[in-house]
Amino acid sequence: MKKVITYGTFDLLHWGHINLLKRASELGDHLTVAISSDEFNKLKDKQAYHSYDSRKMILESIRYVDKVIPENNWEQKIQDVIENDIDIFVMGDDWKGKFDFLKDYCEVIYLPRTVGISTTKIKKDLFKVQNG
């Protein structure tokens, strides 16, 4: 069985997220998604709209996702790959090269982002609507 892992905040879930999860799941037989904990988001000066528990519940309901784990710090990726028997690490291509250190432990694949959608864009659009 080939296992895949990806990471992210997965806040304000949109079709770009679903597209990424679908493509990641197609690379193997099992997809684990590590989502940023609320505490880790604070360390990154990032504010998610939904709590970790809510984002976890949403992701667990998606048919492409087999397991959801917390991401508590930047350094845990090697440990996650080893402990979860991961064969392929997947991230969006805006992170290209940033996780190549994992190539000693698994295959690393950077997938193209879905054009025209992002959580940042949604937040900016909502801000424009609210502020005329």
The 10 Å CB-count burial string (b at 16+, else e) for 32-42 is bbbbbbeebbe
44 catalytic per annotation: yes
**Of 46, 96, 103, 121, catalytic:** 46
**46 is annotated as an active-site residue:** yes
Contacts of 33 (CB under 8 A, 6+ apart): 5, 6, 7, 8, 10, 21, 59, 65, 67, 68, 69
Among 44, 98, 121, 124, the active-site one is: 44
| Catalytic sites, residue numbers | 44, 46
